[in-house]
Structure 1
Amino acid sequence: MTILTTVLGVVALLILTASLIYTFKVGKLVSERKANYDTQINEKVQEHPYARNPIFLAYLIAGVLSLSYIFYLAFTITR
């Protein structure tokens, strides 16, 4: 290994370690805040937590649109 590769490896390891420590600190802070400020979740959301989550809906819609576009291109492009 060259010196540059070793230095870049050490820098990457330091960044990963610092990121892991920061993530744990933020997680602890969020859990402390959640214990103090969290309110009751709506019953409809409790019954269907995945169907009411906008992130999952966005992934689902993006996936369907992407697959639709791929199939459209596959059937309309002629060789």
Structure 2
Amino acid sequence: MSNFTTILFTLALIISIVSLIYTFKVGRTVSERRAKQDGQISEKVQAHPYIRNPVFLAFLIAGILSLAYIFYLAYTISW
């Protein structure tokens, strides 16, 4: 493996672990809120419902990293 591949793998692993932890944290918060009476949704979440979702963030970051790796390979590999 080249150094760049190792760095990308490590970065993807870190992002996956952080996303998993964040997803469990959000899930726990949601389940605690459901146990109580329904309340008003935060204005920040109402304004940016997709940005606050860790699944969408994971897909966005994975897509950007995949495209970056594809372009890197396209420019460095000589056919």
TM-score between the two structures when normalised by the length of structure 1 = 0.49
In our comparison, the structure showing a higher alpha carbon Rg is 1
Higher relative contact order (CA 8 A, sep 6+): 2
